Structure 1
Amino acid sequence: MWQLHACNQGIRARQFWASGWLWGFFLLLIVLLLGNLLQPGAQEQGRALPVPPVLLGPFVLVVIVLVLLEQWYRNIPREQRWSVKFFCIGTAVVFGYDFLLYSDALLFQRVDATLWQVRGGVCAMMAPLMAVSIARSKTGERQVYLSHQAVFFSTGLFLAGIYLLVMSMVGYYLRWFGSDLGSAVQVVFVVLALSILCLLVGSGRFRSIVAVWVSKHFLSYKYDYRAEWMKANERFSTLPLDDRYYEQLILGMANPLDSPGGILWVREGGHFVVKGCRSIGSLPKLSNSEDGALLDFCQESGWVIDVPEYRLAPSRYGGLRIADRLLAGEQIWLLVPLLHQGVLHGLVGLAHPRAERTLNWEDHDLLKALGSQLAALIALKDTTDQLAANRQFEAFYRFSAFVVHDIKNVVAQLSLVVQNAERHKGNPEFVDDTLETLASAVQRMKRMLSQLKQQGAITACAEIVDALEIARAVQQNQKDQLPRVELVVPDGTDTALKLKIERDKLVSVLGHLVQNAQEATPAEGFVRLRLENRGGMAIFNVMDNGCGMSEQFQRERLFKPFDTTKGRAGMGIGVYEARQFIVQNQGSLEVRSAPGMGSEFQVTLPAYTVTEGLEAEIGKAV
């Protein structure tokens, strides 16, 4: 009552608990309690107080409660009194009766037996009035509501009390109807009952069931939105910038609905790849070709998809088609789109909750709010990573400027040699100078290559090339390194398969993948370059039986620029540039690998046909 009165006066909870009056009141209660304990049997002339503290303490407490109740009701706005009227009446009757009981006890120095016996009946008669007030407060103002946490723990204590009462009654009858061993059986039963109670209290599923039941029957809103918002801000403001980043995002959305975890897909180019998962098995990535209907539905509607509801009534989602591979195993409970500024940045699939629950508009609103916040965090991280990569590229370009400067000097030296060769080629001194200049140029180039460790790609226009010739060129370039590259062309493959692409750049990209495979494979192992034509697409597969890569490394480091496992020997941009080049040419780069099982890089590029060439020429002519 004191705290309700403080809320009406605009006093916050922290200020309330720091109040000197409150602590003074607690001190007074402790003094009264100690006085009752120290002088329980003292005669009247030996007491420090004229009345027993055991009677004075409750009387003072009753008076304070009645005063606070009157002040609280007086200061409530008139439009809110309707919802709390019966609560105030019931409380006033209960404590008014206690005022009569303890007034009589203080007057006659003993508690009247009749008044004490009737006291429980008076409280029971007032309980329905308080129940009516609780029902009315569901549609009233939030000012008079109890917090979700207080209601939950009060209900938990209430249920625990009922449990212990029932167990005590059972134990009593066990002793009553038992034999000489009745007392021993009762003790064993009570210990067993307490153990079961501890197990229930420690069970997350049991607490979830109780929380759902309390939300349904005692609270006007399922969520304390202020508390949920504060929890989300606290969690997201301290996100670790490491491998757990995306896992913590999943938990930030799963915890309010009591879900143990889920899976997070994040947009990367034209696909949505898995960035993290918790308490759910790994699922494939989402692509426009296979999951276009789902992605378009999430982009346009922003709806939270209840997967069990979708299974029962797909028509509620406007004929949405979800791929069977996402529904297999019934792992996903909800699909939550992550929208930021109208753009779908990702998708969260939540696992089934510990306790069965029915979703309503409050759950959907909460998930949409959290989804919007998660999308903003994902977009922010992508922007931050891009800025970091741009800074590294800027440093790389500055370094390249020095390389270009050295190359220009070397070209100038060699140009002088070429210009004077025709006129002085018969002069022995000129030949000596030429050899010395060439030796100097070679040394400078070697020194530059040792620093750069990355062969520059030749910028050229796209041209029509033979896919088999490209594969043979890669094999020829990598012939000096072990294990030797095996070129595999399955029977039936069109050996005249054509591509329209920058030849030297493609040879460099495939050569880099083959070189990585050779470096990851022992000399007695194998590295294969396989070429085939599949549905109008040229497929280059680079396969090895080397050390392989973990799923986490593939997801978080493989395509990250300037992240290398070769120490100072590499710059970590080879695979990144390879994927960028392939994607720019309407292709794709897929990776399949496992530790100790080798790796396979699959490069898919559209084949060039004569029809495409004719259409291009007609377009130019028009």
Structure 2
Amino acid sequence: MILWGHALAALLFGLLALSQIRHAAAALPRLTFVLALGATALWALAVAGIGSVDLTANLLEALRDLGWLGFMFALVRRDGRAPERAAIQIIYGVVATIVLASGMLAIATAALPPADAPVLMAARVVLQMMVAVSALVLINHLYAAVAPGARGGIRLVVVALAAMWSVDLVLFATAYASAGWPVGLVAMRGLALALLAPVFALAVHRNGDWTLQLSRTVAYQSLSLAAIALYVIAMGMATSLLATIGGPSARIVQTAFVFGTTAALFAILSTPWLRAWTRVKLAKHLFAHRYDYRQEWLRFTDTLGKPGEDAAPLETRIVKAVADLTDSTAGLLLVRDGVGLGQGASWHWDGDSFATDGELPRYLEATGRIIALDAVRNDAASLEEARAVPSWMVDRADAWVLLPLLHFGKLTGAILLARPPIDRAPDWEDFDLLHLAGRQVASYLAEARAQQALAEAQRFDEFNRRFAFIMHDIKNLVSQLSLVARNAERHADNPDFRADMIATLQDSAARMNDLLARLSQHHQTRSEAIENIDLAALVARVAGRRSAQHPIVTGGARDAVAAADPARLEQILDHLLQNAIEASPPADPVALVVGADGDSVHVDVVDHGAGMSPAFVRDRLFKPFVSSKVGGFGLGAFEARQLAEAMGGSVEVASREGEGTRFRVSLPAVVVPVLGAAA
């Protein structure tokens, strides 16, 4: 079986090599392919004629392995750039070194006395197992690096090589475990190789130009697997050394050594700092570019478009997607807040931030520059850039870069990124990638805000449709009352008519009160003239109407007088008081506090309920049709601010989540003369 199987394999591989000699000079992959076929034929012939353990067969086996490794290396490096070829050379060089070491051990085994041969043969079998494992790892890399448009010839070669080295691995592992050479597996090895020869022949006819494309991810994986292989080799050598010097406790010492070193290695490799450092060093020294742009963009778009109810809000996903590009540990979104920028969503960002003035957004919008904050700290930035950056960003040591978000030349916000685990200065690759990502997320933000505006317009349309039905009911009521008024001129003296008229008026009033109750948030009372209002008395009156509904306390100044429309002011306080009552626990009172401050007076509506976030207060509180209550129209705070501003006042809010909210209604003050002041 050994003779005929290997002889058949030698014949088939030899014929295939001879058929391809005329094409050998066409390209390096073709040349190495022919050499590998010839080396395989010679090795199979030696095994058939001399034996599998003979020195010549062992050296030809090493030559066969080197030939196929050279062929795979020629395929991978064909389209690789110089730094990537350096990485491949390192990987293949390590495996080739193991092959050469196996050949040297074969020579040493033949040269030493027979008594010393078993130890060297066992060591050589271990190295051959390492060669098989490493070759399978490289085959995995080779298969993953095949260009999508490559023909099937390369794939057939990869499958055939994987099968060849898998059979070798089984043979060597069995030989090491049984401390002998399994003759049956040697015979099966020859038959398997003979069956693989037609696969190589078919690959030759189906092959195109042997073109491959190196994947950065696969390169990282291959380096990792090569490192694992080296670690296994080192462990094998170390345990063999311990076995010779350990004596009776050798097994215990070996177990403790392997367990301890493996646990320590896993502890070291699990640190984020080491992983980030490794990625930076590999990208810097082995590749032409730091980023795999295709992979980064796929991850970026996947984070932005993550579906599902459990997904984070869009603004948080935007911050995370941008931070992941540069391995930043945290990020903060700054959005338009008046003329400056205020805090928006954040991702892993700790601590408070402060609003900026208008100088920073003007600079970002005019230049579109990404600000490296270390340059500002080191006085390496321009004077204009240094003036634009607020002091709290410079004082925060982990703040790294500030990315402007521009959409059609308009600044929609900015993202402040924290430092990556391995601190470094941002370079042109960082700036290029962040510029592209900034434009993309700016368009996402602009689209989201356009959708929000469209939703508000749709709510207005819904309100208009609903109000059309109400207007129809009011028109019917007006027609009914007009008919009563016309008939009263002729039938006023008729007792029956007067009774019917009273019933009609009562029914109309009830229906109108029902309409007003349903539209209490939308109904605006008739404007009255501005009057001098005693705020303490008005607050007491409003509190008295609501005291049966919820505990309300009043206090503050007793002599504050405001210039306002009393009906509108009561409507404002009713809106705010209702919101405070609904936000408060049943037993916690709501406070109405009157105060005076120079030329203005104010009424504070204070509750100790759930409170509101800064983002909700800035972006949603005073927007129409935005409500945190189920079924609410969200017009209370909006209408309160509108009514106050119409009287020359304002409505301000201060709120903390979990602590409560204070609304302050400020109005122009009326100075009341004090009797006897002239004297």
Partner deviation per Cα, 1:124-172 (whole Å, 9 max, x = no partner):
9999999999774689xx9986222122222222333444444545444
**C-alpha separation in 2, matches of 1:60 and 1:509:** 98
Residues 225-264 of structure 1: pairs in structure 2 closer than 5 A: 225-239=293-307, 244-264=313-333
The aligned residue for residue 417 of structure 2 is 350
Residue identity in the other structure for 2:43: A
Note closer, same or farther for the CA distance 1:448–1:548 as it changes in structure 2 (3 Å cut): same
Secondary structure at the aligned position of 2:411 is classed as: strand
Matched, 1:292 2:361: no
Give the one of 498, 503, 508 matched to 2:571: 508
> RMSD of the alignment, in Å?
4.8
Tell whether the 8 Å contact from 2:611 to 2:655 is kept in structure 1 after alignment: no
Residue identity in the other structure for 1:448: L
The aligned residue for residue 306 of structure 1 is 372
**C-alpha separation in 1, matches of 2:11 and 2:317:** 55
Give the one of 152, 157, 163 matched to 2:220: 152
Matched, 1:477 2:555: no
Matched, 1:526 2:589: yes
Structure-2-length-normalised TM-score: 0.64
Partner deviation per Cα, 1:505-554 (whole Å, 9 max, x = no partner):
55433331122113333565332234545687765432123454577876
Identity of aligned residues (%): 27
Residue identity in the other structure for 2:660: G
Note closer, same or farther for the CA distance 1:445–1:120 as it changes in structure 2 (3 Å cut): same
Give the one of 595, 605, 608 matched to 1:542: 605
Tell whether the 8 Å contact from 1:470 to 1:507 is kept in structure 2 after alignment: no
The aligned residue for residue 277 of structure 1 is 346
**C-alpha separation in 2, matches of 1:333 and 1:57:** 64
Residue identity in the other structure for 2:544: K
Partner deviation per Cα, 1:74-117 (whole Å, 9 max, x = no partner):
xxxxxxxxxxxxxx5xx788767656644542444464556667
**C-alpha separation in 2, matches of 1:63 and 1:475:** 109
**C-alpha separation in 1, matches of 2:22 and 2:540:** 94
The aligned residue for residue 601 of structure 1 is 663
Tell whether the 8 Å contact from 2:536 to 2:560 is kept in structure 1 after alignment: no
Matched, 1:574 2:643: no
Note closer, same or farther for the CA distance 1:578–1:303 as it changes in structure 2 (3 Å cut): farther
In the alignment, structure 2 segments of 5+ residues that lack a partner are 51-55, 86-146, 148-210, 672-679
Matched, 1:517 2:580: yes
Greater shift in the superposed pair: 119-128 or 180-189: 119-128
Greater shift in the superposed pair: 157-166 or 356-365: 157-166
Give the one of 205, 208, 223 matched to 2:291: 223
Secondary structure at the aligned position of 1:283 is classed as: coil
Matched, 1:181 2:244: no
**C-alpha separation in 1, matches of 2:24 and 2:262:** 38
The aligned residue for residue 51 of structure 1 is 7
Secondary structure at the aligned position of 1:344 is classed as: strand
How many angstroms does 1:214 deviate by? 1.5
Residue identity in the other structure for 1:515: Q
Residue identity in the other structure for 1:402: F
Residue identity in the other structure for 1:301: T
Higher-Rg structure is 2
Higher relative contact order (CA 8 A, sep 6+): 2
The aligned residue for residue 43 of structure 2 is 105
Residues 24-103 of structure 1: pairs in structure 2 closer than 5 A: 42-44=1-3, 47=4, 49=5, 51=7, 73=27, 98=36, 101-103=39-41
Tell whether the 8 Å contact from 1:335 to 1:350 is kept in structure 2 after alignment: yes
Structure-1-length-normalised TM-score: 0.70
Tell whether the 8 Å contact from 1:291 to 1:322 is kept in structure 2 after alignment: no
Aligned length, in residue pairs: 534
Note closer, same or farther for the CA distance 1:219–1:475 as it changes in structure 2 (3 Å cut): farther
Tell whether the 8 Å contact from 2:484 to 2:501 is kept in structure 1 after alignment: yes
Give the one of 432, 436, 443 matched to 1:376: 443
Tell whether the 8 Å contact from 1:160 to 1:197 is kept in structure 2 after alignment: no
How many angstroms does 1:437 deviate by? 2.8
Matched, 1:207 2:275: yes
Tell whether the 8 Å contact from 1:254 to 1:260 is kept in structure 2 after alignment: yes
Residue identity in the other structure for 2:334: W
The aligned residue for residue 454 of structure 2 is 387
How many angstroms does 1:367 deviate by? 1.0
Greater shift in the superposed pair: 391-400 or 419-428: 419-428
Residue identity in the other structure for 2:512: M
Note closer, same or farther for the CA distance 1:505–1:260 as it changes in structure 2 (3 Å cut): farther
Partner deviation per Cα, 1:453-479 (whole Å, 9 max, x = no partner):
425124759x8666x646754553342
Partner deviation per Cα, 1:312-357 (whole Å, 9 max, x = no partner):
3363463235444455654533322211011111222223323334
Greater shift in the superposed pair: 183-192 or 100-109: 100-109
Secondary structure at the aligned position of 1:315 is classed as: coil
Tell whether the 8 Å contact from 2:36 to 2:67 is kept in structure 1 after alignment: no
Tell whether the 8 Å contact from 2:627 to 2:633 is kept in structure 1 after alignment: yes
**C-alpha separation in 2, matches of 1:557 and 1:474:** 28
How many angstroms does 1:369 deviate by? 1.0
How many angstroms does 1:223 deviate by? 1.9
**C-alpha separation in 2, matches of 1:159 and 1:63:** 38
Secondary structure at the aligned position of 1:223 is classed as: coil
Residue identity in the other structure for 1:480: R
In the alignment, structure 1 segments of 5+ residues that lack a partner are 1-41, 74-87, 611-622
Tell whether the 8 Å contact from 2:332 to 2:416 is kept in structure 1 after alignment: yes
Secondary structure at the aligned position of 1:291 is classed as: coil
Secondary structure at the aligned position of 1:276 is classed as: strand
